[in-house]
Amino acid sequence: MTFVRACGVSELEEDTPKRVELDGTPVSIVRTEGEVYAIHDICSHANVSLSEGEVDDCHIECWLHGSRFDLRSGRPDSLPATRPVPVYPVKIEGDDVLVSLSQES
């Protein structure tokens, strides 16, 4: 599994998504509840950026229609979204947040 640097941990604000692009793939990096997560940045219901939404209780909410996606699994837990979005493996090395675009789920 190949990991690439997405950003620095010090660049992440708690519960504030940060959009990055890795090899042409939009990814939202989120630090919440003591963990760092990487989730595909495009909502599966509408073509909008999840990183513009809010984070709460290990979920990210799409700002357009209110669908919430679990940061751990990518699964939606509210309508109108019914399809999950990819989540990606993350590892932390020093201040670097490294992400593999190989899908975890």
In sequence order, the 6+-apart residues with CB closer than 8 A to the CB of 99 are 3, 4, 6, 22, 27, 29, 38, 88, 89, 90
Q: What angle do CA 86, 32, 96 make, to 5 degrees?
A: 75
Question: Looking at the whole model, is its pTM more than 0.95?
Answer: no
In sequence order, the 6+-apart residues with CB closer than 8 A to the CB of 18 are 7, 11, 12, 28, 29, 30, 51
Render pLDDT for 31-81 as a digit per residue (tens, 0 to 9).
Answer: 999 999 999 999 999 999 999 999 999 999 999 999 999 999 999 999 999
